[in-house]
Structures are given as structure tokens and as C-alpha cells.
Structure 1
């Protein structure tokens, strides 16, 4: 990866949870363990009350497009243990989900941990709302 990657911002809680998951994956020699650990090591930790609303975090909807002309899609970024509605979610333990973690609208990044072409990128279009429990908060 090059130094031009956008910054990744995560809460300490999400960082700790994802580090634990990445270490479990590493013990299983999972191919996404090392890419996830790299992203977590470059992450900027930000308390939930200081985290900007437009940062992609776990349990947040994100509107994105694959920059190779793909359609705009909107899904909730989730930890696989939190799976509730698979058609509307993307797991953080996929190349797409890992790439979206911690980004903001306008950020563009190559798909992390993908075996596809190295120039395949994802671009964040919009972020929100955050999912709270089993409900999505209504914006007023």
C-alpha cells in the first residue's frame, strides 16, 4: 500500500474488538488477517463523542461505489457477529468492508485484501445513519 491512503478513524471500542478478531483470524492463517491488522495499526483512535458523524464505523450505513463505474450501493458496515439482515449489510471482514472502515465521503481507496485487480477502488459517497440496536435512528 502506498502512503496516499486516506486516514482511517475508529473508536477505541471498535479497534479493540477488531484487533481481537484479526488476531483470531491470524491464528487460523486467514488471508484477511494481515490486511485487517495493517489497517488497524494505521487507524487513528477517536472517542465516540469526538468522532465526526460522517466517518464509516461499525453499525453505520455507507453509500459507496466501486470506482470502476460500479453502481452506487448503500449498506450497513457490520462485524460478522452482528449480522441481522444480510442483504443490507457488508461485513468488515470482506475486502470491501475492510476498505470502507474509517473513511469519509470523498475518500477513495483500493480494495484491501482483494485478489482482484490492484486498481479496483471503492469511493465513499455518503455516510449515515448509524444503527442503534435493531433500529435505525430517524433524522430530524
Structure 2
């Protein structure tokens, strides 16, 4: 499967790898997807990540090409997840698929049922990221 290039912050990559490994037994699909993304990412210092890249805490607007549904969500750690307020966990299939993408990029990505959908990034807002 040909996926677009992605970028991760070095400290986030390490933290996300540890998180993915910690849920390997409970969430094997998401753990594997996230570890695969981390392994293929270009890992950079925080100051070298462009402002249009999805990082933890980013608010991102995307569209599922198969359904046409537009969503705007904030990508968060599992303990901060709150679907009703638009905060989705990195440990969901869509959360793992969004990390590292840039505005304008698309990725073929499985949903919880394993069906592939194209997710296209429309807008990235890093101003919601807290240090």
C-alpha cells in the first residue's frame, strides 16, 4: 500500500510508540497501524515540523471520500478523548491515520471494521496544541 510521507515530532514518536506497545493486546489493529506509521515517518525536532502537519493536540478538518462526511476533530491522548466535544484519541483507527499528515494529503486507511477509506486533510490548526 502506497501511503503519503508523514512527519512526527521526535518526542511524540517515542511516546506514541510506547503507547501503541502498551495497548498491543487490547487494541491489536490500532497498535499495529500506529507502530507502522511511526516506523515510516520522518522524525524531526518540534521546531522543524511545518505548521500544516497533524501533531498531537492539533485540530484537523478532514473528509472521508467514501462518505463525503466532513469532520473537524482535535487529536488527543486516550485520557483526553471526548467525542461529544470533537476530541478523538490517537488510539482510534482514524486518529492513528491522521497523525503526521499535512494539509492537502490523502491516505487510504482502514476503519474499525477493516474497510479502506480515503481520508483527505483539508485544514490543520496547530494553535490548539498545548505545550
Q: Runs of 5+ in structure 2 lacking a partner?
A: none
Corresponding residue of 1:33: 31
C-alpha distance in structure 1 between counterparts of 2:56 and 2:110, whole Å: 17
Give me the TM-score of the superposition, normalised by structure 1: 0.82
Q: By how many angstroms is 1:13 displaced? A: 1.3
C-alpha distance in structure 1 between counterparts of 2:92 and 2:82, whole Å: 17
Corresponding residue of 1:138: none
Deviations for 1:36-92, whole angstroms, at most 9, x for unmatched residues? 111111111111111100000000000101011422221111111333675211211
Corresponding residue of 2:6: 8
Larger radius of gyration: 1
C-alpha spacing 1:70/1:53, structure 2 compared with 1 (3 Å): same
Q: Aligned pair 1:105/2:99, yes or no?
A: no
Across the aligned residues of Structure 1 and Structure 2, the Cα RMSD in angstroms comes to 2.1
Q: Runs of 5+ in structure 1 lacking a partner?
A: 135-140
C-alpha spacing 1:68/1:45, structure 2 compared with 1 (3 Å): same
Give me the TM-score of the superposition, normalised by structure 2: 0.87
Corresponding residue of 2:62: 64
Mapped contact 1:108–1:123 kept (Cα < 8 A): yes
Higher helix share: 2
Q: Aligned pair 1:24/2:22, yes or no?
A: yes
- Which runs of structure 1 show a deviation greater than 6 angstroms over 4 or more consecutive aligned residues? none
Q: By how many angstroms is 1:132 displaced? A: 4.1
